[in-house]
Each structure stands twice: as structure tokens, then as C-alpha cells.
Amino acid sequence: MKTKILIVDDEQDIQDVLRFVLEDAGYEVESTGRGDEALALAKAHQPDLVILDIGLPGLSGLDLCPLLVDLSIPVIVLSSHDRDDQIIEGLEVGAEDYVSKPFNLKELLLRIEKIIRRTRGGEAAQLITIGSLVVDLRRQQLFIDGVEINLTPTEYKIIEILAKHAHTPVSSETLLQQVWNADEWIQGTEMVKVNISRLRKKIEADPANPRYLLNRWGYGYLLTNS
Amino acid sequence: MKTKILIVDDEQDIQDVLRFVLEDAGYEVESTGRGDEALALAKAHQPDLVILDIGLPGLSGLDLCPLLVDLSIPVIVLSSHDRDDQIIEGLEVGAEDYVSKPFNLKELLLRIEKIIRRTRGGEAAQLITIGSLVVDLRRQQLFIDGVEINLTPTEYKIIEILAKHAHTPVSSETLLQQVWNADEWIQGTEMVKVNISRLRKKIEADPANPRYLLNRWGYGYLLTNS
DNA sequence: TTGAATTGTTACGATTTTGTAACTTGCGCC
DNA sequence: GGCGCAAGTTACAAAATCGTAACAATTCAA
């Protein structure tokens, strides 16, 4: 899959240059000059990285940046002037990196690559290991002692969330929100219970005395191994 | 635990300034001007971050950087001149970030924080330690001498509140409010009494002569160890 | 269209926690 | 010491939570 980059800059020249260079470097490029459109595009197309000019007309780059960070999309901020306080604003606002215009294209490319490598990381970030449990986030699979366990999509989502909070309990409410996108659902807790039970049948040697998938009374569940 | 930073720069002035600023910001700082010594220090003391001048005499910063990266220690590269090719070299060599001299101190601090947050990300355990008692706020667990104590939700809430006010008494009324959200409840004091009793059975060796969970006559309770 | 896999619902027993009451103990003060 | 009140203990009933089975609905692919 090609890496998608979204360029947000009101200067058409910059857009064109960046697009040319980035496409040449093998990236898939989208671009816009408007802040509000940028947010919509980011939400719709889920780019791997946004290059954002801080001096946008309309919805300012400084306002836009935290919104993008919330979507967990890394941002490189461009500023028109090489002023220290703009650098600082850019970093404070949650940007992954900062480049000031006029910029060296090779430097920009290197910084892009660094961020891409880090975020979609060299498979280290893709595997979560908890004792003899291994969750492969990329393939969406669970292994126990190297043996693949066949999970339904719902079951996998639960495991993934619990694995991301390894050894620490996750509340049933959080599970409901993250797995079913349900903030309030009368039957919700039932659903959690049932699926936990189904999961244990698959991953526990003795489902009645679970070793991995434990309950915290009155709170929720946790994935552990000790 | 304090975050450790290793400064590698042959200019004594820079070393001094950085040490002063970073220590003021709450970091533990070591510094050296020699590249070979830097590597030894990094191996011995496992700093969380290295600030590395690229223009070192002897073992060059450019050579040193990949070695540090191999130890999976993040590096911020400093360069004496604002030359594009040095930036690029710094990034190519695996540095996490690049700052050129003369640098803005606030910017440097922000870049440091960003890297620290990213590398030791998320897992910062919130622990309150009172003698041999340890309250893990994230896992909602209590440990005594490293042994996990099984608490009910109510019991844990009480411990958490008392732990947050370690060594100072908390009134029964405050407990009622914080644990049961009850401003006035006739039977409230009974509830506090009973739960304190239940707690002591779990955490005290001799519940009749408590060592940790003490009473302040006519007022409330406190958690201590002396 | 059929059938298997998945998901959602309901019910119920087992277990654990919580609230209440009765009673005992212990502190502080006269 | 004796009194009053706060604190501690115990036992029991009520309530909440948990685990599981059985069954209905939905989805998806053959």
C-alpha cells in the first residue's frame, strides 16, 4: 500500500512543487489550500502524514494541527518565516516535526521518511507480546505459543484493546465504547460478559480458571500472564 | 525515576549552559566532551536521551550516532553551523531530531520532551508508595511488600483516597463524599467503619493493632507506615 | 436459497460485594 | 471508676456482578 500524504498550503506553487517531488518519491499525494477542506479530507482518506502550512487563511494551521493530532495523524508544520516563536508554536501544538520555508527538499524528504518509518514502524510496534500470547496488530491475529487462534472480528477487537493495555484492567464501559461504539446501551454489559466467556473458551486451557483473561470485580477485564 | 540525559559536546560553555537548563527542568544530566567516553557512559548509565554535537574531535559525532541508535538510545544532534548538508547527515545517521546552533533553548526543551514522551510513552505508571505499601493508580491495585492484595472496588477507593493524602488524616465525611457520593446519609458513618474494618483484615498483620491504617479519634483515618 | 458462522438476547445459578443492625471494645473526660 | 460517645467487630440479608447455557437474529459465502 502506498503511503498517503496530504499537503495543506494556500500557495499553489508550493503545492505543485511538493506534489511533484513527493509523487516522484513514490508517495500518493493529495493537496488543498483550505483548512476546513483539509480536515474533511484527512477524515475521509486517512493519510499517513499531513504537511501543514501554519499560515493558512481561514481555519488556521495552528488550530488545525491539534485536530489532526486527535485523529492520530502525524503532522509536519511548514512556516513561512524562520521565526523561533513559530517553531515553538508548531511543536507545542502537537506537530511531529517542523520545517521552515524556504526548505531544503532533501531534508524534508528525510524528515518525512523518518516519521513514516516511526509511525507505521518496523513491525516492532505491530506485535504485542504478553507472556506466551502474541497479538499481531497488522494481521489482526492472535497467537498462543506460536499457534494461531481463530477469532471472530468482535473477539479480536476485544483482545486488541486489552493487549494495548496489557496487565492493566480495562473497564467494561471502555470496552463497550471501543468495540461497539456504544456510549449507553442497556444490554451492553451482557454483551461484554458473553464475549469474554466465548473468548476464554478459545484461549484458556481451563476457561473456568482463566490464566490470561482475568476479571476485576466491579470494574472490567485485563490481559496478563503471571 | 528521573529522566537521564547525556550531553556530548566539546565546548565547555555549551555543556554548562545545557546542564544548567536541563537540571533546572528536572532532568538528571551527565556530560562529556569526548566521543569515546560518551559511548562508555551511554552503555554504563543508560541515559534516556543523548544530545550530541556532530562536530566532535576524535570519534566524530557522525560515527557515534549510529552506535547510540544501536543501543536504542534516542539522539538529538547539534550542529555548529546551519548548513543543510549537516542537517541531512544528522538525520541520515539515525538521529531522532536535529537542532542547529545557535539554538533557542525553549525549542530544544520542547523537542526533548517530545522525544521522551514518545519513547517511554504511555507506560508511565502512577504509583504512590507509603513504606511497604504501594498503590498503583493505573491498575487500581494495592501491593504490600510486592504482594498483590485483592480489594473490592469500594475498598480500593478508600485506599486510593487515603494514599493520595498519605500521612495526613482524612475525615469520615470526606470519605463518605468521595467514595459514596453521599453528602448526608444517616447510616454513612457505619459504612465507613465497617469498610475500614474489612480493609484492615486484608492489609494488616494484626488488625487489632493497625500499623498502616490508623484512626484519628473524632475525625477520620490516615494511611501511614511509621 | 441454504447453511454455517457470527452476533445479540435472555435467563438463571453461583459468587462476591455491599448495606444494615446488633453488639463489643476502647478512648477521653468528669 | 463510670459515663458517653466514637470506633471496631461480627453476622446476616439484600443487591450487584459474573459466568454460562440456550436460543433467536443476522450476516455472509457457497
The nucleotide lying nearest B208 (C-alpha to C1') is: D8
The nucleotide lying nearest A188 (C-alpha to C1') is: C8
When comparing pLDDT for A3 and B125, which is higher?
Answer: A3
pLDDT digit string (tens) for B92-150?
Answer: 667 778 777 667 777 788 888 888 877 765 555 678 889 889 999 888 999 998 889 99
**Predicted local confidence at residue B119, as pLDDT:** 73
Angle made by CA atoms A145, A224, A164, in degrees to the nearest 5: 95
Complete domains list, chain A, with CATH: 4-119 (3.40.50.2300), 127-223 (1.10.10.10)
Q: B24, B196, B30: which is closest to B108 by C-alpha?
A: B24
Q: How many helices (H) and strands (E) does chain B have?
A: 8, 12
Residues of B in contact with A222 (CB under 8 A): 139
Selected residues 127-186 of chain B with any CB under 8 Å from a CB in chain A: 138-140, 152-153
With contact defined as beta carbons under 8 Å apart, do A225 and A131 qualify? yes
pLDDT digit string (tens) for B182-202?
Answer: 666 667 788 899 999 999 999
Confidence check: pLDDT of A63 > 70:
yes
Give the cell for residue A186. Answer: 442497556
CB of A201 less than 8 A from some CB of B: no
Separation CA A214–CA A170 (nearest Å): 11
Angle made by CA atoms A162, A164, A169, in degrees to the nearest 5: 45
Mean pLDDT estimate for chain A: 82
Q: How far is the CA of B87 from the C1' of D23 (A)?
A: 67
Confidence check: pLDDT of A223 > 60:
yes
Separation CA A189–CA A218 (nearest Å): 11
**Predicted local confidence at residue B72, as pLDDT:** 73
Q: How confident is the model at residue B91 (pLDDT cuts 50, 70, 90)?
A: low
Whether A197 sits with its Cβ under 7 A from any strand D atom: the answer reads: yes
CB of B87 less than 8 A from some CB of A: yes
3-state SS class at A106 = helix
Q: What chain B residue is nearest to A94 in terms of C-alpha separation?
A: B114
Separation CA A97–CA B97 (nearest Å): 9
- Positions in chain C where some atom is under 7 Å from a protein CB: 5-11, 16-22, 26-28
Q: Which residue has the cell 528521573?
A: B2
